[in-house]
Structure 1
Amino acid sequence: MNHVHVNDTTLRDGEQAAGIVFSAIEKIAIACLMDAIGIPELEVGIPAMGGSEAEAITAIVQKGLKTALLGWNRAVRSDIEASIACGLRRVHISVPVSDIQIKAKFKGKTNLVWDRLRDSINFALDHDLFVSVGAEDASRADESFLVEVAQFAESLGASRFRFCDTVGILNPLTTAQKVGKLVKSIKMPIEMHTHNDFGLATANALAGLQAGAVSVNTTVNGLGERAGNAALEEMIMALKRLYQVDLGMETSRLRELSQLVVKASGIPLPPWKAIVGDNVFAHESGIHAHGVLQNPQTYEPFSPDEVGWKRRLVVGKHSGRHLLTNLLSQHGISLNHEESQVVLDSVRHLSVQMKRSLTVEELIDVVTNRSMSHGIV
């Protein structure tokens, strides 16, 4: 766990989410910010798509970033030629490994898995490329067949093997079992690629790392096909805080990166989104707010500035007097016990009517109105 390698695929699998299109300028901006944060590798897209996709990939390559850049390819020579044309020196080659995928893509002809892998890997290595091989739908593949594919790819000279939970059907226990078996069967590094169909992408990716995988595929905000992928920000902070593995990245820019992807994708974050959501460091309820005012660690697992965010104390239906008086004191308003209870009752009533918490301006208006009608302050 002390040598985890992050390979972010926001610009490939993230953009494959239904309805998402990044412009070339947006892709470049996202790549540059991830480079500045210290993400060591980016899967920048699918060169074989050509057109604007290839142009954007080429433009990113020409930026001369420190991060390694990888192109996603089918096990087809023309795909790899497209990656080379974009200036990429690293390629990911994907092949189906489950019966359902082999039947759908290769008409059930298992021999094509071997033939396509051999031809594509040899072609890539002949051009001095770094080769990563991806086992599509590995989680539903026959385990013996999966091992054979991995060993074959390794024997041909591949440098990394991606274990894909393509439809997100694993749990941490089954992930650890399958990945652990694979780790014992090959020497080359294993990369986790997990999907969030059952809300377990990050947990499964971590389980795979604990079982011996050393690389992980992520996306910013968990963006991706269907329910998305393991979220970059969740992986980085889970490793840092839960496993004491600091990857040396500038985590204080994670919120900034999240918002950049929100803007580019047009998809807003739910406020409760882990690590970077609007409500992650927001406190309304009386017990929680009182505790945070005494010591933030009572209800926060880490400081908001670690991810470039801030703490918010808001008043609403569940607020108590400690929070109310604290917020008002910041605006030079002091209330005694009886006055604060009157205002608090009004705040709770108004919050129920509005079905949300109150802004600071609305809170001050409540105090002002009460002052005029009841002689408060």
Structure 2
Amino acid sequence: MPSPTSKFSPRPEAATATGQRRVILNDTTLRDGEQAPGVAFTTAEKVAIASALARAGVPEIEAGTPAMGIEEIAAIRAIVEADLPLTTIAWCRMRVEDVDAALQTGVGMVNLSLPVSDVQIAAKLGGRRANALETLRRVVGYARDKGLEVAVGGEDSSRADRAFLIDVVACAAAAGARRFRVADTLSVLDPESSASLLAALRATTDLELEFHGHDDLGLATANTLAAVKAGASHASVTVMGLGERAGNAPLEEVAVALRQLYGRDTGVELAQLDGIAAVVAMAAGRSIPLNKAIVGEHIFTHESGIHVDGLLKDQRTYQALDPTLLGRRNRIVLGKHSGLSAITSLLTDLRLTATAEQSRAILARVRAHAVDHKGPVASETVRQIWHEVCNRALSNCA
């Protein structure tokens, strides 16, 4: 039996240069992300995604579910053997046989998932909370005896009785777990209730607390941020929010928002997020929406005349997020809502001159072209319009 790796992500207790604890992001694209309908990664794709995450400084990944069988075990082992600078975690049910399967992958840490809401306990554990606690003690103890670091995942934590959830966390700590994952499995929380739940747990334990949010209501990022502010040391994320149903909290949104809004460091190189999204999109057979926050093609693209005029004078007028932070730059496109400032700027870039009257004529033609063709107007089209306008003019054009 291979011995578990001893490589782990840094403890969040270490303060960063700002004096605040680093927030540890645990990316579960290779596990929860792959549960999205129709998504199936090959071993090579899993290693490529893990490598991209490692290059970006993501400290932890949940690499898969060993209990799925020998192919999944081999894929996780391939990631472990790639010797990447991150912690590779296997996701398991709270079962001894799942721990045994995880040991075959060479990981040094497992997330052992346990139903904690009465609905889930009734369906999976015969309806007795005592059964859940006993199972936890037995399986966590077994995993620790085998040399594994353990996170206990509280499935459906957001619908669990809070007093019982506190008992579960205490039981996990006593059994030797390092972390407890608070899972909003059915996406029933809002930011206020997320913060309340995490604050209540943080008041009772010194364990690492990880928040795992789903996005059925479009609140996964907001709930994750609220959980971190209330005491979560770890956040579970996926690239572009890929995951079952509506998906999970997106890695790129959480990493950037933590920095922008709260000055919290994650160790992630934000300029690498574009590249990670491209790798995952290709492997998942999914396109990246043009307006996808952080990694969409259009997030720094402007057409509106008022906005473009302001941006050309001072970027801060209509842009709070600096594109250079993400290795990006502003892009101005011409369309129905363009104004004279955009036309003048583009003509200057193209080294073309026009009078004010000619520029207004060009703008009118540009707007009409955008409506007719249902899209932005290319520079070459503007050049052609310029020639047509100038050829009709009495004055000379350069």
- Pairwise TM-score range, normalised by the shorter structure: over 0.9
Match of 1:171 in 2: 190
RMSD: 1.4
Match of 1:299 in 2: 318
Of 321, 329, 338, the residue aligned with 2:348 is: 329
1:52 to partner: Cα distance:
2.6
Match of 1:60 in 2: 79
Is 2:77 aligned against 1:43? no
Return 5+ residue gaps in structure 1 as ranges: none
Q: In 2, distance between residues paired with 1:18 and 1:173?
A: 30
| Structure-to-structure mapping, 1:153-302, within 5 angstroms | 153-302=172-321
Contact 2:240 2:250 in 1 (8 A): yes
Match of 2:129 in 1: 110
Match of 2:357 in 1: 338
Q: In 1, distance between residues paired with 2:270 and 2:226?
A: 22
Contact 1:256 1:308 in 2 (8 A): no
State the AA in 1 paired with 2:73.
A
Paired residues, what number? 377
Q: In 1, distance between residues paired with 2:285 and 2:324?
A: 25
Alpha-carbon displacement from aligned partner over 1:179-233 (angstroms, at most 9, x marks no partner): 1111112221110101111111111111111111111101111111111111111
Q: In 2, distance between residues paired with 1:364 and 1:265?
A: 39
Contact 1:222 1:229 in 2 (8 A): yes
Contact 1:137 1:167 in 2 (8 A): yes
Q: In 1, distance between residues paired with 2:377 and 2:123?
A: 54
Of 71, 74, 83, the residue aligned with 2:90 is: 71
Contact 1:282 1:311 in 2 (8 A): yes
Contact 1:255 1:309 in 2 (8 A): no
| Structure-to-structure mapping, 1:12-23, within 5 angstroms | 12-23=31-42
Q: In 1, distance between residues paired with 2:127 and 2:260?
A: 45
Contact 2:340 2:363 in 1 (8 A): yes
Mean Cα deviation higher: 340-349 or 262-271: 262-271
Match of 1:144 in 2: 163
Secondary structure at the residue paired with 2:248? coil
1:367 to partner: Cα distance:
2.2
Contact 1:17 1:226 in 2 (8 A): yes
Secondary structure at the residue paired with 1:356? coil
Q: In 1, distance between residues paired with 2:340 and 2:363?
A: 7
Using a 3 Å threshold, how does the CA distance of structure 1 residues 336 and 95 change in structure 2: closer, same or farther?
Answer: same
1:247 to partner: Cα distance:
2.9
Secondary structure at the residue paired with 1:277? coil
State the AA in 1 paired with 2:240.
N
Contact 2:214 2:248 in 1 (8 A): yes
Alpha-carbon displacement from aligned partner over 1:60-81 (angstroms, at most 9, x marks no partner): 0001111011000000111111
Contact 2:23 2:265 in 1 (8 A): no
Q: In 1, distance between residues paired with 2:21 and 2:356?
A: 53
State the AA in 1 paired with 2:196.
Q
Between the two proteins, what is the percent identity of the paired residues?
A: 42
Q: In 1, distance between residues paired with 2:33 and 2:216?
A: 14
State the AA in 1 paired with 2:176.
G
Using a 3 Å threshold, how does the CA distance of structure 1 residues 352 and 52 change in structure 2: closer, same or farther?
Answer: same
- TM-score normalized by the length of structure 1: 0.96
Alpha-carbon displacement from aligned partner over 1:72-131 (angstroms, at most 9, x marks no partner): 000011111111101111000001111221222224233331232122101100111100
Secondary structure at the residue paired with 1:148? helix
Using a 3 Å threshold, how does the CA distance of structure 1 residues 323 and 80 change in structure 2: closer, same or farther?
Answer: same
Secondary structure at the residue paired with 2:147? coil
Match of 1:31 in 2: 50
Q: In 2, distance between residues paired with 1:153 and 1:238?
A: 31
Query: Structure 1 stretches (4+) deviating beyond 6 angstroms?
Result: none
1:149 to partner: Cα distance:
0.9
Secondary structure at the residue paired with 2:101? helix
Q: In 2, distance between residues paired with 1:313 and 1:4?
A: 35
Match of 2:108 in 1: 89
Q: In 2, distance between residues paired with 1:331 and 1:313?
A: 14
Match of 2:9 in 1: none
Q: In 1, distance between residues paired with 2:192 and 2:61?
A: 28
1:374 to partner: Cα distance:
4.9
Secondary structure at the residue paired with 1:133? strand
Secondary structure at the residue paired with 1:134? strand
Secondary structure at the residue paired with 1:132? strand
1:32 to partner: Cα distance:
0.8
Q: In 2, distance between residues paired with 1:117 and 1:266?
A: 38
Secondary structure at the residue paired with 2:83? coil
Of 363, 367, 370, the residue aligned with 1:348 is: 367
Q: In 2, distance between residues paired with 1:108 and 1:251?
A: 45
Secondary structure at the residue paired with 1:15? helix
Match of 1:314 in 2: 333
Alpha-carbon displacement from aligned partner over 1:296-329 (angstroms, at most 9, x marks no partner): 1222222212212232100001000111111121
Secondary structure at the residue paired with 1:70? strand
